[in-house]
Amino acid sequence: EAGVTQFPSHSVIEKGQTVTLRCDPISGHDNLYWYRRVMGKEIKFLLHFVKESKQDESGMPNNRFLAERTGGTYSTLKVQPAELEDSGVYFCASSQDRGQKKQYFGPGTRLTVT
């Protein structure tokens, strides 16, 4: 069984540019989560999808971040325009049951904004 995959593994962009991160969850997992780790700090929750619906986006930093999950399969996280403080590692996770099954994490996308 394929695990959670994320693309790209690393992205370097300039301040003001746009970047789109992609996450492919494990097949059949309705729940998809985005987390972010800024250098040296905690991994923080960003948002949670159940199928194509956003259940909780309380962790999204501001309106420069837009997450979508059209069709309830893969998800994208767009940052537009990117700022220096957006640099970090963005993790995606998926699970079968909300709150009851373990979350399987992808390898993360390292975003560097210069």
Partner 1 sequence: GNSVTQMEGPVTLSEEAFLTINCTYTATGYPSLFWYVQYPGEGLQLLLKATKADDKGSNKGFEATYRKETTSFHLEKGSVQVSDSAVYFCALRGGSNYKLTFGKGTLLTVNP
| 7-66 binders of partner 1 (CB under 8 A) | 31, 33, 35, 37, 40-45, 48, 56, 59
Q: Where are the beta strands (DSSP E) in 8-95?
A: 10-13, 19-24, 31-37, 43-50, 53-56, 65-68, 75-79, 88-95
The residue whose two tokens read 């373990």 is 102
The stretch among 19-27, 70-78, 80-88, 105-113 that binds partner 1 (CB under 8 A) is 105-113
The residue range among 16-24, 65-73, 78-86, 97-105 that interacts with partner 1, by the rule CB under 8 A, is 97-105
**Closer to partner 1 by Cβ: residue 20 or 103:** 103
Task: Please say which residue, 41 or 63, places its beta carbon nearer to partner 1.
Answer: 41
State the pairing for strand pair 65-68/5-7. unpaired
